[in-house]
Chains A and B, each alone.
Chain A
């Protein structure tokens, strides 16, 4: 039971965006981690019945979601990565429109919209046009629209993209609050978004799931592979070429490196506990974040 992906693939002009994914999800928060272009958005669009898979089947409680159609979408909430809206509608009118296409009766929609606007902290701005909102407010309006039908499945695609650190924390807490009693699939390439709220983490690369498990399992899958060491300045480049280096901190006469590898990289290296960020860096390499400047 639950949401099940059975050998699901999606191909675009010879490119395998999602490659034979099989996975099951039940209640809880699932953090889908992957670099840009990993296939997260394509997978989510299939889960929201916007596009069909080229191959395989997606079922909800044993029923194909495309066959279930409106019955399935009735229990679905979706906040897409590029969340678009109608700029000239007020937040309230926008929510009422989305409520109408979600099949919520006007009286219920009004109550629900008011409650959600309060929950996401937009009550004061309900008459403001969508185009006048800040990025954070737009994302909050986005989560409100996704929650209008009190969905059993909530799909959030990069919900914190473009938000400042405060907004991001606020948003993360909001998702955690809303996650009760439903399946939340949250995609991101920012590790801290899922570190504290995801029950299960899925790593996706080149259209495939290559790790699924809890954050602890993901961290422990690395083994004892994190080392801190101080090296002279002239040797920094050598280490950067030799090992995956999660962090470089310049100090007088040298640099403190955080190296990810199984064997001790230097005689004076000290073992440290791994974090989710380390795991993400180890599995995704330099694609995980901005390219590290190798010239120190």
Chain B
């Protein structure tokens, strides 16, 4: 019953209602941005955006769905080279809409395979011979071996990299995954907003008795330092969970409902062939969303602790903003110099960047990738802070004699 009324207190506050409505409206707005960001050219070269564009684009690209065999790749390369010979870079819109758009992802995959550690260069595709195209997967595996040697600083790391790369499906099975790729970006941006909102809501739970001068009645009650304080912690976690998943669920539901879910099982390596995260686009999206949830839990725990310690929410609500909005700028400046800046909490909301990074961490003989370290580290910190939140709140007024 305490928990029920603790939640009622949160959801009945006017400012919280405004914040929650804003969060839900933003989910709709972000869905709109995601949906309209997909562009599809028709056979006449007219570019379409809007609710039907993503599905049309997927249908167009899915002409090439299935295993990307050497023969299929050769067909794509041949077609693309012919267009290049004929038009150079100035490809007419109708030609792009008619043919090139459908295999653009495959071209991008080939270019990425051929330029493992250098700038993306479209010209490599035009110089590719028939023999080289036939041997593309041999080249791919050869490059993987080189990546293992280059990025594996120790034997353990090399072994780890080999193990991860061995999981990559070669040849990959293609299916258009534009909706998933687009949504990771929007989910991460929306995740920042949700983390800040969750921090705001959670901070209020531990500050409102002091803010409203209701602390005296609260601390004179039977369960003030036991069940009541515990319920506050649980309410903070519950509100974070509800708000995050409802918000993210709404964003996903609207966006995928409109754009479709084509490409859930498409390997992410089609976009980043040398990524050390062998996963599908669907898993990629889930990973980003779960990392966002951990970021929200962290925001809630930190703000609850600060509010419980300081008896006010004003400083606490600024912390998530600093962690997720200011920290990325600081991190970017120092990431190359200090390992710490590769493990800052804002990276939980930049999975897109992390999965491209080949950085490994090693403790003894155990090797970790960045994202699992971030997930484990901040999930553990979020949980470990909770007893301190409880203790700080319960300790109010009870200084030793």
Contact = CB atoms under 8 A, between A and B. Distances in A.
A89 B8 contact: yes
A97 B5 CA distance: 6
B94 interface: no
B222 A48 contact: no
Given A55-B401, A84-B209, A102 B221 contact: yes
A73 B221 CA distance: 6
Interface stretch (B34-42, B223-231, B370-378): B223-231
17 contacts: A48-B220, A73-B221, A78-B217, A85-B214, A86-B212, A88-B12, A88-B13, A93-B5, A97-B8, A101-B218, A101-B221, A101-B223, A102-B222, A103-B223, A106-B1, A109-B1, A149-B222
A243 interface: no
B63 interface: no
Interface string B1-36: 110111011001110000000000000000000000
Contacts of B209: 84
Given A55-B401, A73-B222, A106-B1, A86 B214 contact: yes
Contacts, number: 108
Nearest to A9: B401
B208 interface: yes
A100 interface: yes
B206 to A, nearest CB: 14
A74 B226 CA distance: 13
B397 interface: yes
B215 interface: yes
A106 B209 CA distance: 22
B399 interface: yes
A53 B2 CA distance: 29
B192 to A, nearest CB: 28
A288 interface: no
B216 interface: yes
B21 to A, nearest CB: 15
A145 interface: yes
A237 interface: no
Contacts of B1: 96, 100, 106, 109
B219 A50 contact: yes
B213 A83 contact: yes
Contacts of A84: 209, 212-217
B5 A96 contact: yes
A202 to B, nearest CB: 20
B1, B5, B218, B220 interface centre (most CB from chain A within 10 Å)? B220
B223 A102 contact: yes
A125 to B, nearest CB: 17
A86 B9 contact: yes
A172 interface: no
Contacts of A69: 225
Contacts of B222: 70, 73-74, 101-103, 149
A48, A54, A87, A97 interface centre (most CB from chain B within 10 Å)? A97
B398 interface: yes
B9 A80 contact: no
Given A48-B216, A84-B215, 10 more contacts: A50-B397, A51-B398, A52-B401, A73-B224, A80-B216, A85-B212, A97-B6, A97-B8, A102-B222, A146-B217
B100 to A, nearest CB: 58
A83 B217 contact: yes
A98 interface: yes
A79 B5 CA distance: 20
Contact of A49 (B8, B220, B226): B220
A83 B218 CA distance: 11
Nearest to B211: A84
Contacts of A74: 222
A158 to B, nearest CB: 12
A258 B222 CA distance: 49
A82 interface: yes
A88 B11 CA distance: 9
Interface in B184-234: 208-209, 212-228
